[in-house]
Structure 1
Amino acid sequence: MTELDWPEILLRLGAATLAGGAIGLDRDLHGKPIGLKTLGIVGLSTATVVLLAVQFAEPGKMTDAASRVIQGILTGIGFVGAGVIVHESERFRVRGLTSAACTFLAACLGIACGIGQWKIVLVALALAFVLLTIGRRVERWLHRMLGGRDDSHRVEASTKTGSQDGG
């Protein structure tokens, strides 16, 4: 059994909360239906459950029980993501996919924080912010360069609502 001390528990849970909250802040600043509090709690809750599973493992080893906990988290978080995507509107439109993906990422970051894999957390968080910051511009540029489907109607609609991405 691995007994984590108070500073290690605080570090892992705090990092998971901050990582999820940071992604949520991006969503919130873009007026999306999920924000800092929600994704911070997703990160915190997943890290909490993983810490509970890790407590009963040998140091440095992943047990079957911990593996099942992680699988259950990732399955369950899909339902939260679906709730972000599905909402009523005047016509059928798929919206919120990026926010749902951010929910899934916040859960994964919570898992990584719970296990204490700091390098993975930092690289994943950095890559996520690169994608969230410049992804839409790169996507438009590639569409123009590669002759993809004209997406101007989506850009016009999103600027009318103050949004720059589909989720």
Structure 2
Amino acid sequence: MASTWEISHLDLIVRMVLAAVLGGLIGMEREWSNHAAGFRTHILVCLGSATIMLMSIYGFTQFVSEPNVRVDPARLAAQVISGIGFLGAGAIMRNGSAVKGLTTAASVWTVAAIGLCVGAGFYTGAFVCTGMVLVSLYALNKWEKHLLRNRRYHNLEMTIYDAPGSLGRIATIFGEHQIQISDLRIEPMEPEHRFPQEAGKMLLAFKLKSVKPDKLPLAVEAIRRLDVVSSLTVV
């Protein structure tokens, strides 16, 4: 067993490989779910964190015996925890009022913590954290979808003629079918010279929260029959 400030080459390699494996397990789930930060990203974050932790503990052993030198293994680890935020921020995307990527950013930050645990030799914490992250990302995700199956969101885009009361007629149909409009984006359509028939139209992009998902097809069919609707697409 290595002393406090020394580590064998075998133990060093085992810790780095273990960090890559644990980070890869979490990254694989993100990859399967087609998220921005996937398999390789999580491996690199976990391996990099473990390497920094190892360097923080064992990389300055030649200075331990020097006078007036104080070794603090937690100093570099603290910089990893605060500095990993730049990578997590890159996975977060905002589209209107919708924000995506928060879970992936959190998983990247947690993988950095797992790497620090492995690098410090805190194997129990690393394994328990990895297991709980996998349960959270996979099992709890399925449970959450089942729990919120009647509160799922749907995106609907339509082109309508810019006539008085058009939007009100569409909103009335949604209300009759117990569908709540969560977000609405309105874009006027600029007619091109070769498409003069597009004049007087606008694009409506709805984000809908349906209490009863079976009501949505009925509402869509009723909206299609309106004379002000030119085209309609469920995204």
Note if contact 2:46-2:112 (Cα within 8 Å) is conserved in structure 1: yes
Take 1:154 and 1:11, find their aligned partners in 2: how far apart are those partners? 47
SS in 2 for 1:4: coil
SS in 2 for 1:94: strand
SS in 2 for 1:65: coil
Q: Which residue of 2 aligns with 1:113?
A: 118
Q: Which 4+ residue blocks in structure 1 deviate beyond 4 angstroms?
A: 140-144, 154-157
Residue of 16, 23, 28 corresponding to 2:19: 16
Residue of 78, 93, 102 corresponding to 1:97: 102
Give the length in aligned residue pairs: 146
Q: Which residue of 1 aligns with 2:140?
A: 135
Q: Equivalences for 1:46-125 in 2 at 5 Å?
A: 46-55=49-58, 56=60, 65-86=72-93, 89=95, 91-125=96-130
Take 1:155 and 1:123, find their aligned partners in 2: how far apart are those partners? 38
Greater Rg by CA: 2
Q: 1:21 to 1:154 in 2, by over 3 A?
A: farther
Q: 1:95 to 1:153 in 2, by over 3 A?
A: same
Take 1:73 and 1:79, find their aligned partners in 2: how far apart are those partners? 11
Q: CA RMSD in A?
A: 2.6
Take 1:27 and 1:155, find their aligned partners in 2: how far apart are those partners? 23
Bigger strand fraction: 2
Residues 7-26 of structure 1: per-residue CA shift (max 9 Å, x gap): 10011111111111111111
Take 1:45 and 1:7, find their aligned partners in 2: how far apart are those partners? 18
Q: Give unpaired runs (5+ residues) of structure 1.
A: 145-149, 158-167
Bigger helix fraction: 1
Q: Give unpaired runs (5+ residues) of structure 2.
A: 65-69, 157-206, 208-235
Paired letter, 1:152: R
Q: Which residue of 2 aligns with 1:152?
A: 152
Paired letter, 1:53: S
Paired letter, 1:13: M
TM-score (norm 2): 0.56
Take 1:24 and 1:83, find their aligned partners in 2: how far apart are those partners? 16
**Identity fraction in percent:** 28
Offset of 1:141 from its aligned partner?
Answer: 5.2
